[in-house]
Amino acid sequence: MANLTPPQPDPHTDPPPPEQAAYGEVARRVAAGEVVEQAAPGGSAGRVASGRVLRGGLAGVMGAGVAALAQFGLVVVVTRAFSVEQAGAFFTVTALMLMAAGIVKLDAGNGLVYFIARANAFEYRGISGYIRAALVPVTGAATLAGVLLYPWLGPVALALPVLAVADVLLAAGRGFGALRPTVLLSGVLLPIGQLALVAGVALPAWTLPAWVLPVAWALPYLPVLVLAALALRGRAPRTPYLPGTGRDLWRHTAPRSVAAAVQAVFQRFDIVIVALLAGPAQAAVYTAATRFKIVGQLANQGLAQAVQPRLVRALADGDLAAARELYQATTMWLVLLTWPVWLAYALAAPWLLRLFGDGYGAATPVALVLAATMMAATASGMVDVVLTAAGHTTASLRNLVAAGACTVLLDLALIPAHGALGAALGWSAGVLVRNALPLWQLHHRYGLRPFGRHSRSALRPRAWATA
């Protein structure tokens, strides 16, 4: 490779540095679909990569399991300690907070993963510029949003910058290959801290203002932010600034920022719209019945966080064979890990829902819709992650807009008459649309399918032993 330490260029007359040009060229190649089959030498490299991905994915899924249990416990505490109306109001506020955080993050975290994973080939030259270019706009947008939302959400709105920046810092660490901070901080410390503080506030002996409960939920994000910053500081190399890094980052990330905003709304809007159209009591019932969907979302997220940098590198190198192996193997692992949970939930829903208290047992039909939908979604694998790793952020945006529109239209039509069940049906239709569209696009462009010969390989004991 040519010398990667040229004299400082004039940004107005000189071409971009080779590292920066390479990043842009990689993005153009992938976005244009210039991907060819490449066989891994002897198959050994592929097995080692799959083992590493499975090991990281299992760590992520274990963290997701802890988070899911803690969040389930939090819902039980809130529904048991407060009235249905108070619980519904709390769930609505936290849903709005997570929606707002998903919007103001601008998908900068995934943008950093995209560029940091590629920068490995160039010894991470100029990578500090990408990190700064991601953090500054996210911090500004989150601060502004917190001030604007304060009249509606109260003091908890001021925690928005902490939520957003912590997530971006953890994503940057994953770009360097460090999954442990995400698992320990986001998957263990955060949900357990939220459960502990909310349970403390919910003690019958306390009589506190209503705003204290959401603030207790948000407080654990602060140590997550501090520890994530320390972890990234210990891993990110100190490199000279390269002109144009911010432009590169946001040229790639801008379309995905809109898609991430749509996805953030898509994931939480159902709770808010139920509260608006059917009242906070129905919002509490809906939240309790659908709380188990976090199991599938977090399991998918845990594997995605492990596999995304490798998918990006494989597609950037034109190694479609490796991308196919990663996609099919992780889809099989997702099915094996989550389908038993969904089947058990569908069978036990009438009894499980009673844990939340009186008035929640009638939500069994909502639980059945949830279980069937999540099984179908899991069988699609990390289809949107693969699509965006290939550079098709605009296509991902269109898919999310179509899914969101489908959900909103059905929610408006069904919730007034059917309450929580209507919201579940609208959400289900949106999830199916969101998975079906990228499935067709990946098959049409690259011939990628969620199941194939690598699905069988993922079942072999050697794959698990390698991990």
Long-range contacts of 120-125 (CB under 8 A, 24+ apart): 120/313, 121/22, 122/4, 122/18, 122/19, 122/22, 123/4, 123/237, 124/176, 124/236, 124/237, 124/239, 125/4, 125/17, 125/19, 125/239, 125/240, 125/242
| φ/ψ of residue 381, rounded to 5 | 70, -165
Q: What is the pLDDT of residue 265?
A: 82
Has residue 22 been placed in a domain?
no
Has residue 28 been placed in a domain?
no
Q: What is the pLDDT of residue 9?
A: 38
Has residue 188 been placed in a domain?
yes
Has residue 7 been placed in a domain?
no
**Residue 21: which of 248, 234, 176 has the closest Cα?**
248
Has residue 457 been placed in a domain?
yes
Has residue 189 been placed in a domain?
yes
- Strands (E) across 66-146 are located at none
Provide the number of structural domains found in the chain. Answer: 1
Has residue 26 been placed in a domain?
no
Q: What is the pLDDT of residue 23?
A: 39
Q: What is the pLDDT of residue 10?
A: 39
- For residue 108, give the amino acid letter: A
Angle 455-296-67 (CA atoms, 0-180°, nearest 5)? Answer: 125
Has residue 10 been placed in a domain?
no
- Whole-angstrom Cα distance, residue 57 to residue 75? 26
Q: What is the pLDDT of residue 341?
A: 83
- Write out the residue range of the structural domain in which residue 317 sits: 43-466
SS3 319: strand
Q: Mean pLDDT per segment of 10 residues, for the chain of length 467 residues?
A: 37 37 38 38 44 55 76 90 89 94 94 82 73 95 97 96 97 87 91 95 78 96 97 80 83 83 82 90 88 69 70 78 85 86 88 84 90 92 84 84 92 93 94 94 88 75 46
Tally of CB atoms within 10 A around 96? 21
